[in-house]
Structure 1
Amino acid sequence: MRRPTIAPTTRHRPRPPRGRSIAAACSLLTAMSASSAWAEDTAKDTAKEDATALPAVTVTAAKRSESLQRVPVAVSVLDGESLENANRNTLGSLTSLVPSLNFRTGASNKDTSLFVRGVGTISTSPGVEPTVSTVIDGVPLARPGQSTLDLLDVQRVEVLRGPQGTLFGKNASAGVVNIVSREPASQLERFIDFSHFGGGNETRLRGGISGPIAAGLRASLTVLAGGYDGNVTNVHDDSRVNGYDKRGVRARVDWDLDAASRLALAADFLKSKDDIPTGVVTRTRLIAYPSGTVSDFPAFAAALGPVVASDDNRRVNANLATTVDDRNRGVSLTYERQLPAGHRLTAITGWRGWNNTQRQDGDRLPAASLGLPQSHDLGTVDFTQLSQEIRVASPLGSTFGLPIDYVAGFFTLHTRDKETYRRDVVRMTSSGTGTGSTGTSFADWGEARYGTNSHGSALFGEGRWHLASDWTVLAGARWTQDRLDFEHARTRSTPDAQFAGAIPGVNAAVSLAGNTSAIGRSGRIGLQHAVNDDLSTYLTWSRGYKGPAFNVFFNMLARDALALKPETSNSVEAGLKSEWLDRRLRLNLAVFSTDYRNYQANFFDTVDGTVITRLINAGDVSSRGAELDLDARVTRDFTLSAALAYVHARIDRFNCPAGAAASCDVNGKPLPFSPDWKGSVRASYRFALAGGRQLELGGDYAWQSRVQYDIGQYADTVQGAYGIWNASVALQQPSQGWRVAMVVKNVLDKSYASFLGRGSAFVNRWVPRDDQRYFGVQARYDF
């Protein structure tokens, strides 16, 4: 049987391994000193050009395979093998490599969000979609929490920056993280890799097999087991927390139906258990904004003991272990067929399920005390989605003899979410007297059952008209229809009469329901100019659209039954893509200006004396800046990569909600999770040794300026500027398929906060994995 002509089959794992690796770092001094060697080597021998040229990079940013340098979109591409070597296994770990990408962590996957160019959505509501879309092999993830999956068996990750609503849909108004998995190999390949890191006893084991199983039939299977004890101590029971336990598997089968069509069936499953605490207390005082007034809370500080709040605290004192049990799974079926006149039909059917159970110690204390109630939460999520995309793509360059090409299609997505959330509250009304007395207490509770159903359909298309060999006009549009409905019912216990019906942190019983619909229009127009084979420029205008939303959450009120307006964006982007020095240097630049209207964000409200956050149309915000990406092969064995972003993301006009529990004087202030400056440098140097062995040195350094983590602009939720340096040394023998590396993370032992949050009497931080220096070893064997 002949192989189809649809696309070349890539190997499951290239063997021998490529010498170019971004997993390791070298010092800046080494990179500078190599510049003279680079110039000398350039002048020597042009016969070595192919060996020293950068490899071509192919992306699917325009829904078909094209050269990175020809796509008029700002894209960062991360190679899957390099991510594995660098032990970067989650989307959150990519933020140090892509300066325009940021990640909000949390005690539960529900609390996580991705940000591109300073814009993202912070909400646990199932009634709001992400601003940054995560797509796996053509299937978009409808909830932000789903994107915490492990990067298992990945060919590459493409980060598309700026609104991508024309081709990728409504939940891509700030950007897209496009994950492309490996195809099964055309020849038998097997591997096993193992890594172990100190600073919390982190272990990761993977194994896989890939290859043909019959004529025209190829398959792959990869399994994963990983665990980490954590780098935070709970003094209440002397346990280690802030860790994880993961078990996962991914399988794929590709079947060449005939010479013109192919079917690919892929399935993945990941089960994880995290014990990330609800923050580690750094301060027991709060700084008001904008007055700067400092309020101390000595009672909370005393109850927290023996833990002492500090900026680098790594201890908690909680009588409930905050844990999250998570199951993320999916199946996709992709059909591709070569049509007449060079056209290609692609149909992708995707189903995904997500189950999440979280237990949270909301009071962060070992027991209730007078004036400090105990609050323990239990929540469950049962979420499913079903999607279908059908599209047709013309051949690149021309169609039916005309100088045009295009992509057009239909997409539909249906989601169903069912959640239960219960809060148990214990209040002390007197401290009691006598030895062993605990005083008088009341146990109260509230429970909410709620959920959403959504349905969206879209027609989309984008075409390019090649005016001449060097000028191209592009235009695209997307029409989207949204429907969203919700139900919510909350019950609660009856408190003692002396409390006048109030339970701290629990609203009164309520039953709510609602629905909304909207029509969204997004699109893109632009002009591209190819100066020569190695240099091109582009100018585009694009409009993004994010659908209507409901603020559906545990403490939902009647006012939350009003739908939020859709969020829209208008963006202008100019870019330059270039290769120099016989393609040994790749330099890409983008400048952009994006304005968002009806920005959907969380702000502060008060419920029975407790400050909470609620989703609102916060007004108008903007993001402007410039991005630079550089890749260089300095010599045959020395590669260097760098990225730099300046992102000025600001609140332009804030829409202050009624009863706001914080100052609305935030116009002109930065958007949360968006440092103005962020950059990274990566490098590797390979030495040839006797017997075909190779020694590889390298590392990466990432730096960012100060960042505000809270839209309320508090002085105590600002993380100062910091940099993290990682380094490694690896010994490998490609001919025999093995590689062993010694790795050190956070060489300079820099402590920082990946997130800072405020409570009623404290500030807490989320402790990142690399909050301290730690060492590890990685080993891999291909056979």
Structure 2
Amino acid sequence: MMMKRICQGAAVIGFSALLAMPPAHAQNTEGSTLGSGDIIVTARKRDERLLDVPVAVSALSQEQLSRYSNVTLSSISQLVPQLVIAESQNQVGGSINLRGIGSGISNPSTETAVTLNMDGVPISYGNAIRLGQIDLGRVEVLKGPQALFYGKNSPGGIISLVSQDPGRDLEMKLRTGYEFNADQRYVEGVVSGPVTDKLGARIVAYYSKEDGWFRNVAVPIPNVTPGPAAKTYNAEDIFVRGTLNYNPAGGGAIFKGKVAYGQRTRDGVGPTGGSQIVFCPGGVSRLSGAIDCKLNRNFYSVIIPQRVTALDPTLEDGVPFVKSTQFLSSLAIDQEIGSDFTLSSVTGYYRLGEKSVDPFTFSNVPYFAASNDIVADGFSQELRLATDFDGPVNFLAGGFYQDAHFKIRQAFGVDFGAPFLVGSTYYDVHTRATSVFGQTRYKLLDDLELAGGGRYSWERKSLTGTSFGSTIDVLSPKRNYHDFSPEITLTYRPNTNLTLYTAYREGFTSGGFNTVPATLRSAANQTLPRTDLSYGQMTARGGGGGA
């Protein structure tokens, strides 16, 4: 299957008011000046010039994101070499691949090998890529194994998304636009500024409505989809985020709280609505000889017959749809302890909800029917203590905890003359993850630094579920995973405009359970010996250098 969007033209109208621009200089932890022309990143949890960071990292500034109207992770990946992000047409939601490393898209409960990190909160679900990311201050893509600075360990890399904060001056922005090919209309608004001399607030809202860029060539669904040759694959997106910053003078604790909600809805088309069968042997598809097997934005959207929807209530009325919602809240606290220590806390809660009904067809005949109802939520807490001594030695130490559930209810039916329910499953994968980490940096010379550290991780996962209403009795319903991931970096800075480094790093992500519906059904119907649905953890080792 292939999906492609062709954008032939767009118009954008914008208005903004920015009063009293703030100074564009700051100090990093090494004492050098950060100028207005520098790209500032926090790849090591402190403000540094991109030029000074001994990590393979690609960074996108707010100006770059705004210039190209990058409001989705898929569009952001087009600006980062070696990063590929795409939606998948199944319950996994999507895939993230960095330097060729990623997770499969067949098992819905698999955690991604490349971790998203939104305002300090790690997110390991592929479905998260389906919603837009609005009003970002910067994006940092760290390539290769990452163990130290972003909560959960990652074998493939980190995509860090940092939303904009309120500034010291009033800012108001309103932008609207129109995209011709999909008939998309959108509007985005921002209000930001100080509430008091210690408190700042920022509110951003986004709304988009598009009629689609694919043509439905199937028999139309009354009052749901347009007729043959009509453009469809519509979408409605809503996003809102609120931010509060409390920054008292005199060295008190700095608080930063963020709450974000996003929603995407497609009516009359399921997850496979944007898929096409192409490059068929002999030019004819095995599913339907009527398909032209060309990438031409033609697709089929048909209603599921009542004789099939009667097999399982989750198929509802048989009209295809997809609806995704996401909620993310985070609270970051930084407290200086004396002049040499900083204690930091990041508390996060993330919830994903997604429902869909899909005929999974490429013809006027709906041979298949599927439904997905996903709820994923998790709480996380990270604590860090960092030093800023004048001497040659500094360190960072901390811990991380996560408690998360991934729940999914699925039904899958077929109709080749007589309707048959292939699977009806529900499962819950519960994850408890704990880790401790630390790093020591030692200046061998004024321009030569050696840094070494690692993270030790413990994760426990358990599986419960039912198949056709019966409890699944499987071997090893609980699994424990643990790993130590070290890293060491040697950095040489002969002058302020050149950094040379070499590094060795390891990464890890825990295993889990094979929760593909057909596998659960087979396990439920199987007599002893029971099937072991668990699989092992993933580890990665990487070394390299850069200038």
**TM-score higher than 0.5 here?**
yes
Name the counterpart of 2:244.
253
Matched residue type, 1:476? G
* Equivalent position of 1:168 in the other structure: 150
Q: Which residue of 1 aligns with 2:536?
A: 565
Partner residue of 1:264 out of 256, 259, 276: 256
Q: Distance in 2 between matches of 1:459 and 1:393?
A: 14
Change (3 A) 1:299 1:340: closer
Instruction: Tell me what 2:342 maps to.
Output: 344
Corresponding residue for residue 598 of structure 1: none
2:313 aligned residue = none
1:165-314 aligned within 5 A: 165-236=147-218, 237=220, 238=227, 239-257=230-248, 259-260=250-251, 261-274=253-266, 275=269, 276-278=271-273, 280-283=275-278, 285-286=280-281, 300-302=287-289, 305=290, 307-310=291-294, 312-314=295-297
Per-residue CA distance 1:161-194 (angstroms, 9 max, x = gap): 1111232254521111111111112121111000
3-state DSSP of counterpart to 1:362: coil
- Residue type at the aligned position of 2:189: G
1:64 corresponds in structure 2 to: 46
Which residue is equivalent to 2:357?
Answer: 359
Tell me the CA shift for residue 242 of structure 1: 3.2
Residues 335 and 298 of structure 1, relative CA distance in 2, 3 Å threshold: closer
Cα separation, partners in 2 of 1:69 and 1:523, compared to 1, 3 Å: same
Q: Report the equivalent of 1:378.
A: 371
- TM-score, normalised via structure 1 length: 0.59
Does the Cα contact within 8 Å between 1:268 and 1:329 map onto a contact in 2?
yes
Question: Is this contact kept in 2: 1:327–1:356, CA < 8 A?
Answer: yes
Are the equivalent residues in 2 in contact too, given 1:109–1:148 (CA < 8 A)? Answer: no
Alignment-derived partner of residue 306 in structure 2:
none
383, 392, 395: which is aligned to 2:385?
A: 392
Q: Say which is worse superposed, 331-340 or 316-325, in terms of deviation.
A: 316-325
Structure 1 equivalent of residue 433 of structure 2? 456
Match of 2:423 in 1: 446
CA distance change for structure 1 residues 170 and 187 in 2, over 3 Å: closer, same or farther? Answer: closer
Note if 1:467 corresponds to 2:444. Answer: yes
Deviation at 1:443? 4.5
Q: Deviations over 1:671-711 (max 9, x none)?
A: xxxxxxxxxxxxxxxxxxxxxxxxxxxxxxxxxxxxxxxxx
- CA deviations on 1:209-262 (whole Å, 9 max, x unpaired) are 111112311111111101222111112222533342101100011112552211
Query: How far apart are residue 509 of structure 1 and its match?
Result: 9.6
Distance in 1 (CA, whole Å) between partners of 2:352 and 2:86 is: 19
CA drift of 1:405 comes to 1.9
Q: Secondary structure at the match of 1:118?
A: coil
Partner residue of 1:405 out of 389, 394, 407 = 394
Aligned residue for 2:74, secondary structure, equals helix
1:510 positional shift = 5.4
Structure 1 residues 300 and 479: CA distance shift in structure 2, 3 A: closer
| Structure 1 position 152 matched with structure 2 position 123 | no
Kept in 2, the 8 Å contact 1:487–1:512? The answer is no
Distance 1:550 1:426, change over 3 A: same
SS in structure 2 at match of 1:93: helix
Alignment of 1:705-716 (within 5 A): none
Question: 2 CA distance for matches of 1:535 and 1:227?
Answer: 47
The equivalent of 1:103 in structure 2 is 85
**Distance in 1 (alpha carbons) for counterparts of 2:263 and 2:352:** 10
Deviations 1:621-650 (A, max 9, x none): xxxxxxxxxxxxxxxxxxxxxxxxxxxxxx
The answer (yes or no) to whether the contact 1:455–1:484 under 8 Å persists in 2 is: yes
User: Is the Cα contact below 8 Å between 1:126 and 1:417 reproduced in 2?
Assistant: no
Pair 1:423–1:108, CA change in 2 (3 A):
closer
Q: How does 1:86-97 map to 2 (within 5 A)?
A: 86-97=68-79
| TM superposition shift of 1:126 | 4.8
2:404–2:431 contact (8 Å) kept in structure 1: yes
Aligned counterpart, 1:536: 499
Measured at CA, do residues 444 and 555 of structure 1 come closer, stay the same or move farther in structure 2, by a change above 3 Å? closer
Structure 2 CA distance for partners of 1:553 and 1:227, relative to 1, 3 Å:
same
Answer yes or no: is the 8 Å Cα contact 1:235–1:315 preserved in 2: yes
1:284 and 1:120 map into 2 onto residues whose CA distance is 25
Q: CA RMSD in A?
A: 2.5
Query: How many residue pairs align between the two structures?
Result: 483
The residue type paired with residue 214 of structure 1 is T
Q: 1:215 to 1:280 in 2, by over 3 A?
A: closer
Change (3 A) 1:16 1:156: farther
- TM-aligned CA distance change 1:128 to 1:384, over 3 Å: same
Describe the SS at the equivalent of 1:165.
coil
C-alpha displacement of 1:566: 1.1
Query: Could you tell me whether the CA contact under 8 Å between 2:19 and 2:170 is conserved in 1?
Result: no
Q: Note if contact 2:273-2:301 (Cα within 8 Å) is conserved in structure 1.
A: no
- How do 1:547-562 residues align onto structure 2 when only pairs under 5 Å count? 547-556=510-519, 557-558=522-523, 561-562=532-533
The 3 A distance-change label for structure 1 pair 444 and 536 is closer
Distance in 2 between residues matched to 1:240 and 1:487, nearest whole Å:
43
Residue 4 of structure 1 corresponds to none
1:499 alignment counterpart:
none
Structure 1 distance, partners of 2:352, 2:156, is 24
In the alignment, structure 2 segments of 5+ residues that lack a partner are: 1-15, 23-34, 221-226, 304-318, 524-529
Give the Å deviation of 1:84.
2.2
2:3 — aligned with what? none
Task: Specify whether residues 378 and 184 from structure 1 end up closer, same or farther in structure 2 by C-alpha distance, changes over 3 A only.
Answer: same
How has the CA–CA distance of structure 1 residues 17 and 73 changed in structure 2, closer, same or farther, with 3 Å as cutoff? Answer: same
In the other structure, the counterpart of 2:25 is none
2:480 counterpart of 1:524: no
SS at match of 1:172: coil
Name the aligned partner's letter for residue 391 of structure 1. Answer: R
**CA displacement, residues 417-460 of structure 1 (integer Å, 9 cap, x when unaligned):** 221101122122xxxxxxxxxxxx34545310111100000101
Contact 1:131 1:171 in 2 (8 A): no
Distance 1:489 1:199, change over 3 A: same
1:267–1:509 CA distance, 2 compared to 1 (3 A):
closer
Structure 1 residues 99 and 322 mapped into 2: Cα distance closer, same or farther (>3 Å)? farther
Secondary structure of the structure 1 residue equivalent to 2:416? strand
Contact 1:75 1:161 in 2 (8 A): yes
Paired with 2:438 and 2:258, the residues of 1 have a C-alpha distance of: 26
**Secondary structure class of the residue paired with 1:83:** helix
Contact 1:126-1:452 within 8 A present in 2 as well = no
Is residue 133 of structure 1 aligned with residue 131 of structure 2? no
* Alpha-carbon distance in structure 1 between the residues aligned to 2:91 and 2:145: 24
In 1, are the aligned partners of 2:374 and 2:406 still within 8 Å (CA)?
yes
Higher mean Cα deviation, 223-232 or 125-134? 125-134
Offset at 1:123? 2.8
CA distance in 1, matches of 2:286, 2:52: 62
Tell me the SS of whatever aligns to 1:300: coil
- State the TM-score, normalizing by the size of structure 2: 0.83
Output the amino acid matched with 1:316. Answer: F
1:315 maps to what in 2?
298
**What residue ranges of structure 1 are gaps of 5+ in the alignment?**
1-11, 19-52, 287-293, 369-373, 429-440, 493-507, 577-783
Task: Please state how far the C-alpha of 1:560 moved relative to its aligned partner.
Answer: 6.2
Distance 1:566 1:446, change over 3 A: closer
Task: Report if aligned partners of 1:488, 1:512 keep a CA contact under 8 Å in 2.
Answer: no
